[in-house]
Structure 1
């Protein structure tokens, strides 16, 4: 398509890099806590976290025991995109998902969000849906980035990670390097759009800071990257973006001494849609291993 990039490519890249942390909502504990609401959640409900309404969905036997799997959607998506994956996983596990502030049916944020703020919201959600049970976080794209940033500071609770084409830890710098400031046309537009998103110009108002990968200990971690090089569709600079993305997936292996990288060969960015079986198997492996180590 002369003079422009296919909209699907732009959308995919925007979702891919829309990536990290959220909140700006103060408070470490749940507000307006209702003791009667402590019964296990079933289906879709809204809970109060730090004074904000957060949309949550849970399924699977709450009495099954073992780790609770928490699915984390990508940028521009919501928990509704994860319904099929959640249904499949809940046949063997307790599984929950939630809309972050500014996404889906949850409240919008009060202002700019950060990793620390997003962590507070996630902690409030985990308090409600998992209690004292160990947790496996399975995040796609932005959700994977948030999960990977959260886990090192919450080793007492997060006992496993599955990252589905997670936004790399240095994606802002990667984009700025792969598409130089001197670029023109569609590439320049894409560069400007994505760097703006990292500054917080996105629906979740997430201000995304690059940073090193910190260790979460020796928890089981599975990193799954896409196999179809959709980023290469960007004229001239696409191959650089693909190489940067691949390097970013390898970088996540530093999260744990027990991390592995695999490729969903027939998948684009939305691996849980294109090859759901790959994701289901990875989540079940990590959950079973986390249960044995608990």
Structure 2
């Protein structure tokens, strides 16, 4: 969920080049594996460090670190609305000790280009596909998204089962959040609650830096991939006058709905966390992502 006004809610690739047959250092020519050499060359072509890549005619800022072990998926972190990849930097650093981990700024966020016009889940999904082509190649991926990033990941996975082999949704924006806000906070609301309603509905309609129209929709199945859904434990939405407790209930119900995305879904609560689970309780995020990556392998 995009940040609500502070007055209302305070918290609302590794380069390895296989150059051919090498016999120095005691290695025997017959020990050379041509298929391994091909894989090393593929790895050499993948993004390493932080740089801007071209996707669909736009410059997209990406960051990759760590090396993918044999059989392990590439972990791709997806920031929330109003954030950028720097918000995922600490999480990426921790995870990259054992994994290849990448993050990126969506169009309109961080150091990436701005979108030319309105975006929807299909267009932002095309950018994600282009990013995955360059940061993961043919390797399977695990998408780990926070808030809006989680919603985008959950919308993307069912249509890309060949590539997405696991999901971690960290307090992901519920699939029917626009309708929930409109229902819970009525048009007749006054004061701060009315401001929250107007602000959030405008954001969902596309009045945000990404120009993304955040449409409600049903939760679609991504098959039997491992999925971990983590919801916040500190009820920060309850700070909204009159309607906060009902919004909290709607948010919790939305987290439970995400379980329908897979027959191997698991819901947990980060008891000490507000909306930013990966910064409030990074250990919970790391463990969930590593569990999914291990199961996806």
TM-score normalised by L of structure 2 = 0.87
CA distance in 1, matches of 2:238, 2:177: 16
| TM alignment of 1:94-173, pairs within 5 A | 94-173=100-179
Match of 2:184 in 1: 178
Does the 8 A contact of 1:69 with 1:135 survive in 2? Answer: yes
Does the 8 A contact of 1:64 with 1:93 survive in 2? Answer: no
Match of 1:272 in 2: 278
Does the 8 A contact of 2:46 with 2:137 survive in 1? Answer: no
CA distance in 2, matches of 1:115, 1:6: 25
Pairwise CA RMSD of aligned residues?
Answer: 1.7
Unaligned runs of 5+ in 2: 13-40
**Count of matched residue pairs:** 266
In the superposition, relative to structure 1, how do residues 226 and 91 fare at CA in structure 2: closer, same or farther (>3 Å)? same
CA distance in 1, matches of 2:231, 2:210: 24
CA distance in 2, matches of 1:37, 1:209: 37
- Higher relative contact order (Cα pairs below 8 Å, separated by 6+ residues): 1
Describe the superposition over 1:134-154 as per-residue Cα deviations: whole angstroms up to 9, x where unpaired. Answer: 000000000000000000000
Describe the superposition over 1:109-142 as per-residue Cα deviations: whole angstroms up to 9, x where unpaired. Answer: 0000000000100000000000110000000000
Describe the superposition over 1:44-73 as per-residue Cα deviations: whole angstroms up to 9, x where unpaired. Answer: 010000000000000001465510000000
2:98 paired residue among 92, 96, 105? 92
Q: Does 1:206 align with 2:212?
A: yes
Q: CA deviation at 1:43?
A: 1.0
| TM alignment of 1:1-294, pairs within 5 A | 7=6, 9-10=8-9, 12-13=11-12, 39-62=45-68, 64-291=70-297
Q: CA deviation at 1:41?
A: 1.7
CA distance in 1, matches of 2:115, 2:189: 34
CA distance in 2, matches of 1:119, 1:278: 27
Q: CA deviation at 1:12?
A: 3.7
Does the 8 A contact of 2:158 with 2:221 survive in 1? Answer: yes
In the superposition, relative to structure 1, how do residues 8 and 290 fare at CA in structure 2: closer, same or farther (>3 Å)? farther
Query: Please, which moves more after superposition, 40-49 or 120-129?
Result: 40-49
3-state DSSP of counterpart to 2:54: strand
3-state DSSP of counterpart to 2:248: helix
Q: CA deviation at 1:10?
A: 3.9
3-state DSSP of counterpart to 1:7: coil
3-state DSSP of counterpart to 1:138: strand
